[in-house]
Amino acid sequence: MVSFCADIDRLFTEAPFLQRFRLARENGFSSVEFSYPENVDLGCLGDAAAYKGLKVSLISMPLNQAALAFEKKEKQNFLNAFDVLLERADFLECKKIFIPGKIVLQKDFDALRLSFVSALHAIAPRARQSGVKILLGFKNPTENPDFYPASTLEVLELLDELNDDRVFAYLFEVYHAQMCEGGISNTIEALISLIAHVRIAGVPNAAEPDSGEIDYSYVLSLLETQGYQGHVSCSYTPRLETLQGLKWMTRYV
């Protein structure tokens, strides 16, 4: 059975951040994910995140902190930021941290990518010791020009270079993959052992996954058939209010 996760950076935004955890749990979600917020007390966050057995399946490093990994001179600041995030993930009993990419101009590509790989190598022992997976994903280049990584292939190249599947894994965003690659079934079947977290949204509008190009009933069934053990994150922008748009999920929970 699918275990749905709510991306509360995008869902339940009608409510203040700490109230979104309760709303997620009361509306069929077993877990949440979010980008770690500034100026939120960790104790209050822990209480909210534990509401009626709710779990935190994934924490994303804020974009401004993740961007430090691409700058050689900022490497130590990135490591410091990761250590803080690792401590917070441990407190919240979360075992997956997503490190997003950034816009990288072609003229700076080689140097910035080299710094990124070096920074990821540096945090690997910290993550391994804590039993945390570091996830990498991509954004489609149609909507995000010059963003890196920009394809499944570029993520796979990173994972191959890092060469540590105990620590590094793939965050597979079906929306971004369909927008620039297609072949969703083939990707799932070929890479299921590398996929640690899945995000879904309707294509091409990034709204509820109940319309558009992708048959999510088939995709979710395929994930189950392939033995996927992670969460499926509803990471979309509701057409209207979040609760009005959740009717699609009743057939699965």
Query: Within a domain: residue 218?
Result: yes
> How confident is the model over 120-132, as pLDDT tens digits?
999 999 999 999 9
pLDDT, one tens digit per residue, over 141-164 is 999 999 999 999 999 999 999 999
- Assess contact for 32 and 5: CB atoms under 8 A: yes
Q: Domain range holding 51?
A: 4-248
Model's pTM, two decimal places?
0.97
Domain count, the chain: 1
Residue 253 placed within a domain: no
Q: What is the pLDDT of residue 251?
A: 86
Whether omega for the bond prior to residue 204 falls within 30 degrees of 0, making it cis, is: yes
Q: Looking at the domain assignment, is residue 224 inside a domain?
A: yes
CATH assignment at residue 202: 3.20.20.150
- Residue 28 to residue 3: CA distance in whole angstroms: 9
How far out from the chain centre does Cα 31 lie?
A: 13
149 belongs to a structural domain:
yes
pLDDT of residue 140: 97
Is 71 among the domain residues?
A: yes
Instruction: Tell me, yes or no, whether 236 lies in a domain.
Output: yes
Low-confidence ranges of the chain (pLDDT < 50): none
